[in-house]
Structure 1
Amino acid sequence: MMLKIPSAWVAEFQFERDNETVSGAEAARTKLQKQLKRSTQIGAAELAEKLGSCSPTSPCASSACGSCNRAFRLRFCQQVAEVLGESEIVQVSLIPRSSRVERGALREFDLATWAGSRQRSFARALPPEARFLGGIDISFNEFENANPHWCFHLLGYMIMPKGAGMKLRRRRDRIRASIAKHCPPLPSEVDGMRQRPLLLRYLTFGEATAKASYLHKPIFPRRSSYMDTRRDTGNTFRNSADEPLRVRDHIELSLLLDRHPLGSRLILKGFRRHGGFGAFVLNPTS
């Protein structure tokens, strides 16, 4: 069956900051296809063929495809703007303790099971009246060019009825404590360095719609961390810079994504997705 693609695929539409245009998405798909053709990893040749056959009239619908990801994300952003409505919105960022996957182990990693477990945890942690709309982000992390590993973390919006008091820190703190109980984050201090693995931040409607594309990102960085020194105080701190993935890592991640349909990285509570990847709707479940 032909999957419907929004007309915006063939028009230039700039996503938030470093996210891609139509031409950028097509260039990313072509670049990945060439890398896959040269790779000896299992499944690389088949994915290269799939990406090579993708077109606006016959999309491949692969989660590794830049063009199909862009069509999905455009529809997703449109739906986010429609469902937020008159509500109070809190952005939730979480790095769970189970976030780490070793380099080279993505072939055995079950993304669908991991996502389903996080979705059930959020359903237990959030208030009954809360709805949640978010996704799984992925980065490849290194520290001082050592300890390479994949990190799976969550970014999403908790949507509460108007008047829920989400501007109040004490209300957000109670929900933060519940999330930490049902879906424990990484420790707040590792090797003497502080980190913030669980953040809640109140957003206006405009802020939430402007950042919606970040909830389902197609561009995954290599996050290189290192010890740095503040010029004014001389104190050391942990700094980081985002760089492109190395080819072998990009291919490993692309093969993982291709094994799961577009939308598999979404985390939903109070919504159900209906329809094809370029024309779906997010319907409230109650």
Structure 2
Amino acid sequence: MHPPKTSNLHYPDVTSRTQQILGDRRWDGNGPPHWLIGKAQGPAQTADEAYEERLKLIARLRHYTCDDPTAQAVAERHDHCAPRQRCGSGACPECGRTYCRWFVASGAAALKQLGIGISIISLVPPQLSVPIGQLASEHIHTAKQRIQATLIKAGISTFIGGIDISANEHKREFDPHFQLQAWILAPTDQIRPAESKLRAAIPKTSTVPRPVKIKLWDRNLAALGYALKDHFVRRVSYQREANEDGSKHTCRNTRDRPLRVEQHIELAITLDQAGLQARLILGGCRVVRTVNGPMIRPITKRQHDSDDQ
């Protein structure tokens, strides 16, 4: 059975494929896939919660940016979002949740099809930071291209993931900025020989002391959900002091806090202009048409040879 199609959205950032994903009620509702999030291991966001988040964002945009026509246009677009007629905005909480749920189900199936061990890579390139007040959709597209190029150059040819954005702050050590980063799942046998190249390509700095983190994937769907999560935070860095008994040493730590109003609005406008698919990162995989709608699938050797001809 083919999933229902959404109406013609008339937005240049929404492809027909994205429209079809957003129109599929499997991803719009509260059925599978399911996963738990955070230290408390609570359930992932429900459809009703995403609906409430959309209304809150509309209210915030209209209240704080009544003189900004760009922000008001985003609010108007979100106000017309409805089941089977999704707005498709990259900033819409309901559309973002739907797209993420499709990605989790589709990405998990693609990784299972590979039939090999998978690891997670967190990449935080310091050069992909943007001062607060200067974030634009081009920064997301550039980050995606650079991350893909870095992975391929390191020897990782198959990967699935997404671009994340946080607002980073510290009282003294650096100015507030948006940090674009990537959360990637890829075959462990490709990551191991590429690790030294990744660390050389993305060296640590005073503002990003751990730009490359790698760990084995335990098949928890939350890792896929995190890659394209639509809840963004403000990361506040601070210096944790050592304990008198020596059990804890001095180090930098971070606390997650809600975005400030101006940060939230700036990010929403940028995500709206970039589009949902702008944050999706694929290598050695592609989104293909199936009887169950668009799905991510690994590119086989036969497909590679066909593409080269």
TM-score interval w.r.t. the shorter chain?
Answer: 0.7 to 0.9
SS in 2 for 1:259: helix
Matched, 1:156 2:200: no
Name the CA distance, whole Å, in 2 between partners of 1:152 and 1:248: 18
Residue 116 (str. 1) matches residue 132 (str. 2): no
Alpha carbons of structure 1 residues 81 and 62: separation in structure 2 relative to 1, 3 Å: same
Match of 2:199 in 1: 180
Which residue does the alignment assign to 1:250? Answer: 264
Runs of 4 or more, structure 1, over 6 Å off, are none
Give the 3 Å change call, closer, same or farther, for CA 261–275 of structure 1 in structure 2: farther
What TM-score, normalized to structure 2?
Answer: 0.78
Q: More displaced, 12-21 or 32-41?
A: 12-21
In the alignment, structure 1 residue 60 sits paired with structure 2 residue 87: yes
Q: Residue 230 in 1 paired to residue 258 in 2?
A: no
**Residue pair 2:27, 2:102 contacting (<8 A) in 1 also:** no
Residue 238 to residue 180, structure 1, CA distance change in 2 (3 Å)? closer
Residue from 49, 53, 66 that aligns with 1:28: 53
Cα pair distance change 1:252/1:201, threshold 3 Å:
same
Residue 180 of structure 1 aligns with an amino acid whose one-letter code is R
Aligned to 2:273: 259
Deviates more, 1:138-147 or 1:53-62: 138-147
Cα distance between partner residues in 1 of 2:26 and 2:253: 41
Distance 1:195 1:272 in 2: 33
Q: 1:195 to 1:35 in 2, by over 3 A?
A: same
Instruction: Name whichever of 80-89 and 3-12 sits farther off.
Output: 3-12
Q: TM-score, normalised by structure 1?
A: 0.84
Q: How many residues align?
A: 267
Structure 1 residue 218 corresponds to structure 2 residue 230: yes
What is the alpha-carbon distance in structure 2 between the residues aligned to residue 48 and residue 275 of structure 1?
A: 32
Partner of 2:36: 16
Alpha carbons of structure 1 residues 103 and 268: separation in structure 2 relative to 1, 3 Å: same
Relative to structure 1, is the Cα distance of residues 275 and 114 closer, same or farther in structure 2, using a 3 angstrom cutoff? farther
1:165-212 CA deviation, whole Å, 9 max, x = no partner? x7xxxx72x31112234xx2242x528xx82211121223x23x3421
Residues 137 and 274 in structure 2, CA contact (< 8 A), matched pair in contact too? no
Closer/same/farther in 2, CA of residues 237 and 179 from structure 1, 3 Å limit: closer
- What secondary structure does 2:230 align onto? coil
> CA deviation digits over 1:60-94, x for unaligned, max 9?
01110010111111111111221112111011111
Q: Is the 8 A contact 1:75 1:280 kept in 2?
A: no
Map 1:7-156 to 2 at 5 A: 7-11=26-30, 15-17=35-37, 19-38=44-63, 39=65, 40-85=67-112, 86-107=115-136, 109-127=138-156, 130-144=157-171, 147-156=175-184
User: Is residue 12–residue 21 contact of structure 1 (8 Å, CA) maintained in 2?
Assistant: no
Unaligned segments of structure 2, at least 5 residues: 1-5, 8-18, 39-43, 301-309
Identity of aligned residues (%): 28
